[in-house]
Amino acid sequence: MMNVLEAIESRTSIRAYLDRPVEKEVIQKILDTARWSPSGVNTQPWRVAVVRGDRLRQLSEEFLRLSAAGVRPAPDYDYYPGEWVDPYKTRRFQCGMALYQALGIGREDKEKRKEAALNNYRFFGAPASLFFFIDRRMGKGSWLDMGMFIQSVMLAARGLGLGSCPQASTADYPDAVREILGIAEQNLLLCGMALGYADEKHPVNQYRTAREPVEAFSSWHD
């Protein structure tokens, strides 16, 4: 089993999966490991819905139906800023271009770009998805806890040989998710996560986004 440093450095967002199911016991092990993530005063604010099989197909079909009907996404919160500024604007552009290049999609090919975006609602063909919820009454600190927990899930999956992709897009229609899964309105939907065995040969899994060097984001105060 790989060590934690290797898991962090080799983790990447997987957008194409093998037609291979993920057994319940494997997902159980991932969550059993991630539950040891830190949280303020041990509140453990995470709630996870594991979705597979017919229910996953139902969610996918509903997302695609809502999108085709022109229903605007209405997530429970704003993931991105209302106005992009640099350096974040440039990084976002570079990320998108790298993805489209990996998929062989030209800059002016709007139809293929739209189809690539809709693949988010198909969970990129993953056999399982995890949906992460938090009680609406919790504060911002608990959102930090959720981030650490979600990272632990991805690293545990990586350690067990699985790929994952955190998806803000699958939280576009939170009311539909709560209704289909029977989740109470009190639970705010943060994001979904595609989970499965990566198709290592697929071009979309061959590229990696760049990261800034340590010197670019750190300052030292001895």
- The total number of structural domains in the chain stands at 1
pLDDT score, position 133: 98
Distance CA 174, CA 189 (A): 6
Share of the chain above pLDDT 70, in %: 100
On whether residue 83 sits in a domain, the answer given is no
Residue 95 lies in a domain: no
CATH code at position 140: 3.40.109.10
pTM (predicted TM-score): 0.96
pLDDT, tens digit, for every residue of 171-211?
999 999 999 999 999 999 999 999 999 999 999 999 999 99
**Who wins on pLDDT, 1 or 188?**
188
Cβ count near 189 (within 10 Å)? 25
Domain that holds residue 71: 4-77+121-207
Whether 144 maps to a domain, the answer reads yes
Q: Is residue 166 part of a domain?
A: yes
